[in-house]
Amino acid sequence: MTALSVNLNAVAMLRNRRDLPWPSVTGLARVVLEAGADGITVHPRPDERHIRKTDVGELVALIRDEFPKAEFNIEGYPSEDFLALVETAKPDQVTFVPDSPEQSTSDHGWDVDAHRDVLEPAIARMKAAGIRVSLFVDEDADMPARAKAVGADRVELYTGPYGALGGTAEGRKHLEKLAATARAAHEAGLGVNAGHDLTLANLPDFMAIVPHVDEASIGHGITSDALLYGFAEAARKYRKALNPGS
């Protein structure tokens, strides 16, 4: 089974357009978890333009009190402030992404060797706290072994280039590279996550071709589809797309 982790950044961004408490990040987390989502993902940025530090604490309490089997994944750049937040929250997983503060969204994976001095101590610190560590990586079959060498437990495949091209010939080339990267991660003993611009339209080909996917983190696509179907039904549809035989 491939787990569905619903990214709530877009929900928080919509809330933050006004000085109002709704839409509720924790309320919609409850909706998708009740509908069968396996976990929640958030990416708190330094300027809190979507997820706030207070959201993190409220989600921790929600999952602990109401959904103890659900997984909580926090994404971010391993700055001191971010690491301290993660240590306080104690999620199941932290995903390190190489974002600069001004980026609107993640758009590339780590060059692990070039950032080894940043990643190694941060990974060791998270693992000492009992938190699984995933590194955001591009479609590069050489990268999983490097992620393993710095202590990562998983890699998250950056699927944005494939998501933008869907079922085109160029999209197929990206799928083949993603599949090779997933196989390399599996051979290195790493778990495989995936995320970015995955939709109900492009997930079938992705799941048919890319092996060993443990978890997919989906935010923009599922939020867009929630406008049509509602969040509960969108979560059910995405979980089915990730596990078509179930």
Domain edges within the chain: 3-242
Mean pLDDT of 71-83: 97
Q: What is the mean pLDDT of the chain?
A: 96
Is the pLDDT assigned to residue 170 strictly greater than 60?
Answer: yes
Structure confidence at residue 108 (pLDDT): 83
- Here the tokens at position 58 are 């409220």
Catalytic (active site) residue 75: yes
- The pLDDT of residue 120 is 98
**Alpha-carbon distances, residue 36 vs 58, 119, 146 (angstroms):** 20, 33, 34
pLDDT at 1 over 80: yes
Task: Please say if the pLDDT value at position 38 is more than 80.
Answer: yes
Q: Over range 197-203, report the average pLDDT.
A: 97
Annotation says 196 is catalytic:
yes
Which pLDDT score is estimated for 245?
83
Q: Active-site residue among 43, 71, 156, 215?
A: 43
Whether the per-residue pLDDT at 104 is higher than 80: the answer is no
pLDDT at 99: 80
- Which one, of 176, 180, 184, 177, lies nearest residue 145 by Cα? 184
Tens-place pLDDT, residues 132-160: 999 999 999 999 999 999 999 999 999 99
Contact 30, 65 (CB under 8 A): no
Q: What is the DSSP string of the chain?
A: -PEEEEE-HHHHHHHTTTTS--S-HHHHHHHHHHTT--EEEE---TT-SSS-HHHHHHHHHHHHHH-TTSEEEEEE---HHHHHHHHHH--SEEEE----TT-SS------TGGGHHHHHHHHHHHHHTT-EEEEEE-S-TTHHHHHHHTT-SEEEEE-HHHHHHTTSHHHHHHHHHHHHHHHHHHHTT-EEEEESS--TTTHHHHHHHS----EEEE-HHHHHHHHHH-HHHHHHHHHHHHSTT-
- For 171-182, the pLDDT digits (tens) are 899 999 999 999
Task: Quickly state the pLDDT bin for 101 (edges 50, 70, 90).
Answer: low
For the cut 80, the answer to whether the pLDDT of residue 217 exceeds it is yes
Given the residues 139, 156, 174, 196, select the one marked as catalytic: 196
**CA atoms of 198 and 105, how far apart (whole Å):** 14
Maximal CA-CA distance, the chain: 49
- Report the share of the chain in percent with pLDDT over 70: 97
Average of per-residue pLDDT across 161-173 = 90
- Residue in 227, 229, 219, 234 with CA at minimum distance from that of residue 50: 219
Considering the candidates 75, 139, 156, 215, report the single residue annotated as catalytic.
Answer: 75
Q: CATH topology for 3-242?
A: TIM Barrel (3.20.20)
Of 2-11, 144-153, 165-174, 229-238, the range with the lowest mean pLDDT is 165-174
pLDDT tens column, 109-136: 999 999 999 999 999 999 999 999 999 9
Has this prediction a pTM greater than 0.75? Answer: yes
